[in-house]
Amino acid sequence: MESNPTSKDPGIYLDYNATTPVDPEVFARIEPYLKQFFGNAASAAHHWGWAADNAATKARAQVASLIGAKPTEITFTSGATESNNWVIFGLISKIREENPYEPIHMITSCVEHASVIKAMEAAQKMNVEVDYLPVNLFGQVGVETVRKFIKPHTKLMSFIWVNNEIGSINPIVELAKLAKERKIYFHTDGTQAVGKIPVNVTEMGVDMMSFSGHKFYAPKGVGALYIRSKDPKVQINPFIYGGGQERGLRSGTVNIPGVVGLGTAAEICQRNMNLEPARMKSLRDLLWQKLQAAIPGVRMNGHATERSPINLSVTLPVTTDSILPQLQKLGISTGSACHTGTMTISHVLNGIGLNSEEAQCTLRLSVGRWTTEDEVLRAVEILQNAIPRKNV
Ligand code: PMP
């Protein structure tokens, strides 16, 4: 395996849930598409255009293969934020086009990514009814809870597959099954699942899935939306209109370097799927085991076993703010943020019942392809040293 691409940086990057570096193999395959193969995939009259179009075709097949879809079911987007917005507004637009008065109800949860929650809030302003379901103490949605919220006019269920803050995995197969029984479209935000755990949208009964390349070693600003083509054939309108690229579903010149990166990253994840998740899990488990030994009273958030292999969310005996200066060499993420003097607490931590003080004591650490055991041990040491003795 290549040495750590962030190795010139003396710190330890443990924020792979936030973003990943581009894999060197991905970078190498992108480069020609920034230089000699710079054509527009829509230019049908010359070889520059054909090369770009062929690259997109190959990338679509690579992405489809990673998630168990057909290439025609993959549409490239700028990332999960766009894909999530597309699902919600594309469906509303499709339903309203056919019948402007048809009532629309959507079900989601209170621990979704902001790109689902904020889009749902905007949909409410367009007279769409939305329920934000409560979750259990681990941040998971219960099938029986969902059942109680279904209405005759429920058109969409949208649940995050793997939570980006606390790592818990939702029971996607059971949720998708319920949606299918009730003839409701099932969308999942798969951003933290794709490339990290085995994902097969066809077998798992998912109708739509959003994801972003930069969470699995492709560049930022590229992602996709999977849209099921049969049983059922999902009917949504485009979200972005224009030149009719991506079979009219998503206009705009296709980001060829980006999709080549996405495709290559997908191919690498698929190749590594037998080994990488297990390696991530053992590093993450080591991190947790050492942290427990070093910091008495530390608590883990999210489900103990039904969780992302890369994610560890912990609540410390001190506020993260009080130790941040000592954590400068650690790339980690905190459960609260201070914006111009006001403290914003993560809605996810709030959703699993943490109070404001506990959220202020919460850190997210996430491992990735270049994390080493030595880095894990050094990170624990840094954290341990940062916490005042009286708290340890
Ligand atoms: N959903 C989840 C679960 C995420 O973790 C993220 C990125 N933090 C997004 C959506 C949005 O992805 P992007 O910023 O690449 O559009």
Q: For residue 110, which phi and psi values (nearest 5 degrees)? A: -85, 0
For residue 213, the ligand 1 atom closest to its alpha carbon is 15
Q: Which residue has the higher pLDDT, 8 or 127?
A: 127
For residue 163, the ligand 1 atom closest to its alpha carbon is 3
Q: Can you give the pLDDT at residue 1?
A: 44
Q: Can you give the pLDDT at residue 3?
A: 47
For residue 160, the ligand 1 atom closest to its alpha carbon is 3
Q: Can you give the pLDDT at residue 2?
A: 47
Q: Which residues, at least 6 apart from 336, have a Cβ–Cβ distance to it below 8 Å?
A: 320, 321, 343, 344, 345, 346, 349, 356, 359, 360, 362
Q: Calculate the average pLDDT of the chain.
A: 95
110 catalytic per annotation? no
Q: How far is the CA of 295 from the centre of ligand 1 (A)?
A: 31
Which residue lies with its CA nearest to atom 5 of ligand 1? 164
| pLDDT confidence bin for 6, thresholds 50/70/90 | low
Q: How far is the CA of 261 from the centre of ligand 1 (A)?
A: 17
User: What integer is the mean pLDDT of 50-69?
Assistant: 98
Q: Can you give the pLDDT at residue 189?
A: 98
Q: How far is the CA of 65 from the centre of ligand 1 (A)?
A: 21
Of 110, 269, 338, 361, catalytic: 338
**Is the C-beta atom of 191 inside 6 A of ligand 1?**
yes
- The Cα diameter of the chain in Å comes to 72
* One-letter amino acid for residue 26 of the chain: V
For residue 79, the ligand 1 atom closest to its alpha carbon is 16
Answer yes or no: is pLDDT of 335 > 80: no
**Percent over 90 (pLDDT), the chain:** 93
**Is the C-beta atom of 164 inside 6 A of ligand 1?**
yes
**Is the C-beta atom of 80 inside 6 A of ligand 1?**
yes
For residue 78, the ligand 1 atom closest to its alpha carbon is 16
| pLDDT confidence bin for 341, thresholds 50/70/90 | low
Q: Can you give the pLDDT at residue 309?
A: 98
Answer yes or no: is pLDDT of 338 > 80: no
Q: Which residues, at least 6 apart from 352, have a Cβ–Cβ distance to it below 8 Å?
A: 111, 135, 136, 137, 138, 139, 166, 301, 302
Q: Could you say which of 3.40.50.300, 3.40.50.620, 3.40.640.10, 3.10.620.30 is the CATH number of the domain covering 24-272?
A: 3.40.640.10
Q: Can you give the pLDDT at residue 5?
A: 54
Closest CA to 22 of 216, 271, 266, 254: 216
pTM of the model: 0.96
Q: Can you give the pLDDT at residue 10?
A: 64
Domain edges within the chain:
12-22+274-391, 24-272
Q: Which CATH architecture has domain 12-22+274-391?
A: Alpha-Beta Complex (3.90)
Answer yes or no: is pLDDT of 140 > 80: yes
**Is the C-beta atom of 348 inside 6 A of ligand 1?**
no
Q: Can you give the pLDDT at residue 229?
A: 98
Q: How far is the CA of 287 from the centre of ligand 1 (A)?
A: 24
Answer yes or no: is pLDDT of 132 > 90: yes
Q: Can you give the pLDDT at residue 344?
A: 84
Answer yes or no: is pLDDT of 239 > 50: yes
d(CA 91, CA 201): 19
pLDDT in tens, 100-119: 999 999 999 999 999 999 99
Q: Which residue has the higher pLDDT, 296 or 341?
A: 296
* One-letter amino acid for residue 239 of the chain: F
Q: How far is the CA of 87 from the centre of ligand 1 (A)?
A: 14
Q: How far is the CA of 386 from the centre of ligand 1 (A)?
A: 30
Q: Can you give the pLDDT at residue 7?
A: 54
Q: Can you give the pLDDT at residue 343?
A: 74
Q: Can you give the pLDDT at residue 80?
A: 98
* One-letter amino acid for residue 155 of the chain: K
**Is the C-beta atom of 160 inside 6 A of ligand 1?**
yes
* Centroid of chain to Cα 21: 15
Three-class secondary structure assignment of the chain? CCCCCCCCCCCEECECCCCCCCCHHHHHHHHHHHCCCCCCCCCCCCHHHHHHHHHHHHHHHHHHHHHCCCHHHEEEECCHHHHHHHHHHHHHHHHHHHCCCCCCEEEEECCCCHHHHHHHHHHHCCCCEEEEECCCCCCCCCHHHHHHHCCCCEEEEEEECECCCCCEECCHHHHHHHHHHCCCEEEEECCCCCCCCCCCHHHHCCCEEEEEHHHCCCCCCCEEEEECCCCCCCCCCCCECCCCCCCCCECCCCCHHHHHHHHHHHHHHHHHCCCHHHHHHHHHHHHHHHHHHHCCCCEEECCCCCECCCEEEEECCCCHHHHHHHHCCEECEECEEEECCEEEECHHHHHCCCCHHHHHCEEEEECCCCCCHHHHHHHHHHHHHHCCHHHC
Which residue lies with its CA nearest to atom 8 of ligand 1? 18
Answer yes or no: is pLDDT of 369 > 80: yes
Answer yes or no: is pLDDT of 389 > 70: yes
Structure tokens at 80: 């999960």
User: What integer is the mean pLDDT of 262-288?
Assistant: 98
User: What integer is the mean pLDDT of 339-358?
Assistant: 87
d(CA 30, CA 385): 42
Q: Can you give the pLDDT at residue 106?
A: 99
CB atoms < 10 A from the CB of 37, how many? 18
**Is the C-beta atom of 165 inside 6 A of ligand 1?**
no
| pLDDT confidence bin for 337, thresholds 50/70/90 | low
Structure tokens at 175: 């949720």
* Centroid of chain to Cα 291: 26
Ligand 1 pocket test target in 115, 216, 311 with most atoms within 8 Å of CB: 115
